[in-house]
Structure 1
Amino acid sequence: MENFPIPAPGFNGASRRTEVDNVFNWFRQGWAIFIVNPGAWIAMMVILIVIYLGLALVPWIGPLASHLLTPVLAAGMLLACERAARQEEFAITDLFAGFQHHTGSLVMLGVLYMLGMLVVFVLAFVFVGGGVAGGLLIGNPIGAGVALGGVFLAGLLWMLLSLPIVMAIWFAPALVVFNRLQPVDALKASFHACLKNTLVFLVYGLISLVLCFFAALPLGLGFLVLGPVLAGSVYASYRDIFIGA
């Protein structure tokens, strides 16, 4: 016999299609989240940049560690976004909130993300190596063309294989933190949400590229502002697309 009240079913990762116009609202919300406490956001970005630059200096292990940490640090940014959106106080230390909440699931996301990007790198490296080796064996201008063709194909392969991985990881930290989904379920839900809104995210990506271009002009200092705005836009898009968010 059922007990009353019957508990509501758990969130299953269901998402909806949204309108392209909503992209502009995501950026507006991202800006609104930033101006709640610009000082704290800029300090978070400085810390993030230092972390990733430090990892980039470590051969081989550094890039792998950066992929491993990305979901954990992204969760901290998203939790800070939620507090800012609710007009609650948040601090610079919220950047590391992912090490305190749902850490196991977030680390597992990082492991899966790291392994996926590692496979993509190996496949692209094989293409580059094959193209360059073939060009050297030919040893004339045609060989140079073969080598360049191998590099081009490797870059194209890297983009094509990386895209599904990025789609899967895009909303996964938010789904783990806010909806308590298991890592694999979060990756699947994120991928399907991005696939369902392909045109929307194409527009979002193009606008983000333009903003990144202008952010890079003043010695890259614009990213201290753009980074938090993009984080806020991801939070806004998550709230817009996922039912029960």
Structure 2
Amino acid sequence: MSEINPYKPPESQAAAAAGASDFIADGRAVDSGRGWEWIASGWELFKKQPGTWILLLIVLLVCSILISLVPLIGGLANMLLLQVFMGGVMLGCRALDVDGSLELGHLFAGFKQNTSDLVVLGVLALVAWVIIIIPALVIVGGGSFMAMMRGDAMGMAAFGMTFVLAMLVVLALSIPVYMALWFAPSLIVFHGLKPVAAMKTSFFACLKNIVPFLLYGVILLVLSLVAAIPLGLGFLVLAPVIMASIYAAYRDIFFAG
């Protein structure tokens, strides 16, 4: 077994996991079909230790619930710490890829290294989501006022339309945020990028690969619908596969094959 320390990610180990020696700082454009291959690679990583993956997901959900119970700050703390947990999950994916071993402790590895940068990333993510929500609240608030003023079916219909518009605005503004956050934890824990630099790099790497990401998103949407059928239990498998697929996409885009 390799002597790689799963909690210490020098760049050379990340390169070894990618099967390449050169880190591509800005990422590279890959073929459109790679979107499916990221999911397939995520599935392969899941199959190596399915029990550990499911346990890791359950512990993450329990931690999230417990944190959310903290009065006043629980919800905010959850959003801040999500990026720390994701940094740990990416370290776990790398350890599983290189050393063939994923441990529950990997979930908390982000609290042992690069913690401050991951927390700052969480702060930036929180600010971004707040900025996104503000215009939606303004739109919905205006619709509610119109509905109250009219007090009839037309007013309620107008409110429904403004609500749909607000959701579309949130969706449109969320996409660039997801793009900026998608690879940011990996870039921080594997390469020591600062949060803003990691977000910029992640955003433009996603932009270069917009077509494979569209395919990736469509496939995940279909899989999510299937996973939701058995009382949502399918997400015990799909959620870990998605997390592993993020690592697979990082490996594919930031290292030459």
Matched residue, 1:6: none
Provide the TM-score with structure 2 as the length reference.
0.85
Query: 8 Å contact 1:69–1:110 — kept in the other structure?
Result: yes
1:238 aligns with 2:250: yes
Residue 16 of structure 1: aligned partner: 28
In structure 2, relative to structure 1, the CA distance for the partners of 1:83 and 1:11 (3 Å cut) is closer
Q: Does 1:166 align with 2:164?
A: no
Residue of structure 1 in register with 2:47 after alignment: 35
Aligned residues of 1:31 and 1:229 also touching (Cα < 8 A): yes
Show the 5 A alignment for 1:197-216. 197-216=209-228
% same residue: 43
Letter in 2 for 1:79: L
Q: Deviations over 1:120-167 (max 9, x none)?
A: 122211211111111211222221122112211111111111111111
Give the superposition deviation at 1:88.
3.6
Aligned to 2:231: 219
Structure 1 position 49 matched with structure 2 position 74? no
Counterpart position of 2:90:
78
8 Å contact from structure 2 (residues 29, 208) kept in 1: yes
Unaligned runs of 5+ in 2: 1-21
Match for residue 140 of structure 2 among 123, 128, 141: 128
Paired with 1:145 and 1:58, the residues of 2 have a C-alpha distance of: 38
Query: 1:56 & 1:162 partners in 2: Cα distance?
Result: 22
Contact 1:167 1:190 in 2 (8 A): yes
Equivalent residue, structure 1, for 2:114: 102
Q: Distance in 2 between matches of 1:125 and 1:60?
A: 21
**Aligned residue pairs: how many?**
236
Q: Does the 8 Å contact 1:78/1:174 carry over to 2?
A: yes
Tell me the TM-score normalised to structure 1 length: 0.89
Structure 2 contact 28–254 (Cα < 8 Å) conserved: yes
The alpha carbon displacement at 1:40 in A equals 1.0
Give, in angstroms, the shift of residue 42 of structure 1: 0.8
Alpha-carbon distance in 1 for matches of 2:146, 2:50 = 53
Contact kept in structure 2, 1:13 and 1:186, CA below 8 Å: no
Alpha-carbon distance, 1:242 to partner:
1.4
Match of 1:144?
156
Partner of 1:114: 126
Q: Deviations over 1:61-112 (max 9, x none)?
A: 4432222111111111111110111134331111010001100110000000
One-letter amino acid of the counterpart of residue 74, structure 1: M
Q: Quote the Cα distance in structure 2 between the aligned partners of 1:200 and 1:59.
A: 41
Secondary structure of 2:99's counterpart equals coil
- Structure 1: which 5+ residue stretches go unaligned? 1-9
- Residue 182 of structure 1 corresponds to 194
Give the Cα–Cα distance (whole angstroms) in 2 for the partners of residues 212 and 39 of structure 1: 20
Deviation of 1:59 (Å): 7.6
